[in-house]
């Protein structure tokens, strides 16, 4: 992973069971890391929402045959926090996901949209039947 070649980067990895009760572990770990990095309370709240949505997707859509667990990587350097949520599920094509119609809101289909709104950068790497990595980046404000 390119960002890890930088001298000051560190990585924290969680392997979580596909059970909604454990999303709080991803959120708590995130709070600890983001707080240490100096993110504001508001930014930490946004990060928590984004990571929860990504974990929920990993559990709900990502679950393939051998994917009882999914992984959350937190990659930290002096200027930004990168969060990768990785599953071994069915995968999907980002292009095929339509943006939600906010004038006619539905009950679902908002997760990726919310993640994109709250994070500075979002990248999805997904392949049919071999899983998904969603990378979310938040920069530290000066
Ligand atoms: N990790 C994933 N693996 C496979 N498909 C995914 C994954 N994440 C998202 N998707 C696909 O992208 C679609 C949109 O995801 P999004 O989170 O925006 O909405 P949702 O999960 O369907 O509903 P909501 O998040 O509002 O409860 C999903 O319905 C699913 O088809
Ligand atoms: Mg979702």
pLDDT digits (tens, 9 = 90+) for 12-34: 999 999 999 999 999 999 999 99
Residues 6+ apart with CB under 8 A from 19: 59
- pLDDT score at 3: 61
Residues 6+ apart with CB under 8 A from 43: 34, 138, 141
Ligand 1 atom nearest the C-alpha of 100 is: 18
State residue 140's pLDDT score: 96
Ligand 2 (ion): residues with CB under 5 Å are: 57, 111
- pLDDT exceeds 80 at position 7: no
C-alpha R_g of the chain: 15
Ligand 2 centroid, distance to 8 Cα (angstroms): 33
For 72-109, the pLDDT digits (tens) are 999 999 999 999 999 999 899 888 887 888 888 787 88
Ligand nearest to the CA of 131: 1
Report which protein residue has its CA nearest ligand 1's atom 25: 111
- Identify the CATH assignment for 2-139 out of 3.40.720.10, 3.30.565.10, 3.40.50.720, 1.10.579.10: 3.30.565.10
């Amino acid at each position: 992973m390119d960002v890890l070649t930088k001298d000051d980067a560190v990585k924290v990895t969680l392997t979580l069971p596909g059970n909604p009760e454990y999303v709080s572990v991803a959120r708590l770990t995130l709070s600890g890391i983001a707080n240490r990095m100096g993110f504001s309370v508001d930014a930490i709240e946004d990060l928590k929402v984004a990571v929860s949505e990504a974990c929920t997707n990993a559990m709900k859509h990502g679950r393939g045959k051998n994917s009882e667990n999914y992984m959350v990587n937190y990659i930290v350097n002096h200027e930004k926090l990168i969060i990768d949520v990785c599953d071994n599920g069915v995968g999907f094509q980002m292009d095929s996901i339509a943006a939600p119609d906010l004038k006619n809101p539905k009950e679902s289909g908002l997760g990726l949209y919310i993640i994109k709104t709250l994070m500075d950068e979002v990248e999805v790497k997904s392949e049919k039947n071999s899983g998904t990595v969603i990378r979310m980046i938040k920069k530290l404000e000066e």
